[in-house]
Amino acid sequence: MKEVLLKIKRQDNPQTKPYWEEFKVPLTPKMNVISCLLEIQKNPVNVKGQQTTPIVWDCNCLEEVCGACTMIINGIARQACAALVENLTQPIVLQPLTKFPLVRDLMVDRIKMFENLKKIRAWVPIDGTYYLGPGPKVSQSVQEKVYPISTCMTCGCCMEACPYVNNKSNYMGPTAMAQVYLFNSHPTGAMEKEKRLDAITGDGGIADCGKALNCERVCPKEIPLVSIIGELNRQTTFRSFSRWLFK
């Protein structure tokens, strides 16, 4: 029987030291990394034959729409559900994301991305949920432009790949920038356009982007992050200039 060899970085809690553990699981057709981890759960024994604890990791939808199972697989941040074993070199090396506080094993706490969405006012300011008729008309070409951005699942791949998201910086990262662009593109959302632009002007904002261009390369939803950030750069500059001019 063919087997899959996995090398997994483990850590029992944020205070203890990380360690590596290797596992072998039977290979099945079209197997993904999640299936490997599920197999280990059923038989938590490492390659040395020692009984161990099941791996802790995050996963929900298993079809790349929830963003939960993001981890570093053979050096690249991506979703474990969409990582098919047949396309990976072995041993398959699994590590937790490094730009977020570790919880346990491959699980991290990505709350900071959700907190950033508060700072940038990532919502359309509707008056209420009572009946107010249809929303504004939107052309299909605009829908096609914004739809990919709204598929951002806050997975953190772009954060992991961005060198400017780190311990020493408050940079909110590409994901938050894309959401500013998304809400500023909506006819009602645009009514708070200036507030959002101001939120990404200054510390942690768009100027912290050093244009490494890694974000767009790793985005599983192929969001055009580079051009979005470029456009926002232009808009924030113009906004700062006009504020200074009309002070």
Partner 1 sequence: MKVVVVGGGLAGLMAVIKLCEHDVDVDLISYVPVKRSHSVCAQGGINGAVNTKGEGDSPWNHFDDTLLGGDYLANQPPVLGMCEAAPGIIYLMDRMGVTFTRTGEGLLDFRRFGGTLVHRTAFCGSTTGQQLLYGLDEQVRRWEVEGKVKKYEEWDFLSAVIDEEGVCRGCVAQDMKTMEIRAFPADAVVMCTGGIGMIYGKSTNSYINTGSPASSIYQQGAYYANPEMIQVHPTCIPSEDKHRLISEGVRGDGGRVWTYKDGKPWYFLEEWYPAYGNLVSRDVASRGIYKVCRDLKLGIDGQDFVYLDVTHLEPEWIEKRQHGVLEIYRKFAGEEPTKVPMKIFPAMHYTMGGLWVDYDQMTNIPGLFAAGECEYQYHGANRLGANSLLSCFYGGIVAGDKVPEYGMKLKKDYRNISSKVFETEVAKQKTKMEKIYRLNGSENPYRLKAELNEYMSNNVTVVRYTEKLKETDKKILELMQRYQKIGVCDAGGWSNRTAIFIRHLWNMFEFSRAIVHGALLRKESRGAHYMPEYPDRDDENWLKTTKAKWTPDEPQFSLEDIDTSLIKPRVRRYDVRKDEVIKEEAEKEKVATLRKEEAVVG
206 binds partner 1 (CB under 8 A): no
49 binds partner 1 (CB under 8 A): no
C-alpha span between 89 and 244 (Å, rounded): 55
Helix, coil or strand: residue 92: strand
131 binds partner 1 (CB under 8 A): yes
175 binds partner 1 (CB under 8 A): no
Taking the alpha carbons of 216, 210, 9, 55 in that order, is the dihedral positive or negative?
A: negative
Binding mask 143-162 for partner 1 (x = CB under 8 A): xx-xx--xx-xx--------
Least CB distance to partner 1 at residue 49 (A)? 15
State the distance between the two ends of the chain, measured CA to CA, in whole angstroms. Answer: 74
Nearest alpha carbon to residue 196 among 213, 208, 178: 178
C-alpha span between 231 and 163 (Å, rounded): 20
44 CB burial (10 A radius; 0-12, 13-18, 19+): middle
From the list 1-9, 114-122, 161-169, 199-207, the region that binds partner 1 by CB under 8 A is: 114-122
Binding mask 56-95 for partner 1 (x = CB under 8 A): x-xxxxxxxxxxx------------xx-x-----------
111 binds partner 1 (CB under 8 A): yes
137 binds partner 1 (CB under 8 A): yes
Residue with smaller CB distance to partner 1, 17 or 137: 137
**CB atoms < 10 A from the CB of 184, how many?**
20
Residue-by-residue DSSP string for 174-190: HHHHHHHHHHHHSTTGG
Residues contributing to the site for partner 1 (CB under 8 A): 12-13, 28-32, 34-35, 38, 41-44, 51, 53-54, 56, 58-68, 81-82, 84, 103-104, 107, 110-111, 114, 117-118, 121-126, 128-129, 131-135, 137-140, 143-144, 146-147, 150-151, 153-154, 183, 186, 188-189
